[in-house]
Structure 1
Amino acid sequence: MLSPLLSVTAFAALVHGHGYISSPPMRMPGNATTAACGRSVVADIVRDKTSHVEGLPELAAKDAGYKAAQCNLWLCRGVQFGDNAANVQAYAPGQTVEIKVALTIPHAGSANVSIVDTKTNTIVGRPLLSWPSGYADERQFYGKTLPANQTDFNVTIPTTLGGKCATAGECVSCL
Structure 2
Amino acid sequence: MRASSFFGVTLFAATALAHGNITSPPARQPGPVMQQVCGAAAVSAILADGTGPLENIPSSGAADCNIFLCKGAQFEDNQNNVQVFAPGEVVDFAAQLPIPHEGPCNVSIIDTATNTVVGQPLLVFDSYADENLAQLPLNNTAFSVTMPTDLGAQCQTPGDCTMQWFWFGTAAVQTYENCVDFVMSE
**TM norm. shorter chain > 0.5:** yes
Identity rate, percent: 49
Highest RCO, 1 vs 2 (Cα 8 Å, sep ≥ 6): 1
Distance (whole Å) between structure 2 residues aligned to residue 28 and residue 92 of structure 1: 24
Equivalent position to 1:86, from 63, 80, 83: 80
1:57-94 residue CA offsets vs partner (Å, 9 max, x unmatched): xx22xxxxx24310110001000000001110110101
Please state how far the C-alpha of 1:162 moved relative to its aligned partner.
Answer: 4.6
**Considering only aligned residues, what root-mean-square deviation do their CA atoms show, in Å?**
1.4
Distance (whole Å) between structure 1 residues aligned to residue 33 and residue 120 of structure 2: 30
| Number of aligned positions between the proteins | 148
- In structure 1, list runs of 5 or more residues that go unmatched: 1-16, 61-65
The 5 Å alignment of 1:1-150 reads: 18-56=19-57, 59-60=58-59, 66-132=60-126, 134-139=127-132, 141-142=133-134, 144=135, 146-150=136-140
1:110-149 residue CA offsets vs partner (Å, 9 max, x unmatched): 00000100001000100000012x211111x13x2x1111
Distance (whole Å) between structure 1 residues aligned to residue 83 and residue 130 of structure 2: 30
The one-letter code sitting in structure 2 at the alignment partner of 1:113 is: V
Partner-residue secondary structure (3-state), 1:69: coil
1:32-79 residue CA offsets vs partner (Å, 9 max, x unmatched): 1001100011011112111110222xx22xxxxx24310110001000
- In structure 2, list runs of 5 or more residues that go unmatched: 1-17, 165-177, 179-186
Equivalent position to 1:152, from 123, 133, 142: 142
TM-score, normalising length from structure 2? 0.76
The one-letter code sitting in structure 2 at the alignment partner of 1:75 is: L
Distance (whole Å) between structure 2 residues aligned to residue 51 and residue 68 of structure 1: 21
The one-letter code sitting in structure 2 at the alignment partner of 1:44 is: A
Would you tell me which structure has more strand in proportion to its own residues?
Answer: 2
The one-letter code sitting in structure 1 at the alignment partner of 2:141 is: T
Partner-residue secondary structure (3-state), 1:104: coil
Please state how far the C-alpha of 1:104 moved relative to its aligned partner.
Answer: 2.1
Partner-residue secondary structure (3-state), 1:119: coil
The one-letter code sitting in structure 2 at the alignment partner of 1:80 is: Q
Aligned to 2:171: none
TM-score, normalising length from structure 1? 0.81
Distance (whole Å) between structure 2 residues aligned to residue 148 and residue 22 of structure 1: 15
The one-letter code sitting in structure 1 at the alignment partner of 2:99 is: I
Partner-residue secondary structure (3-state), 1:77: helix
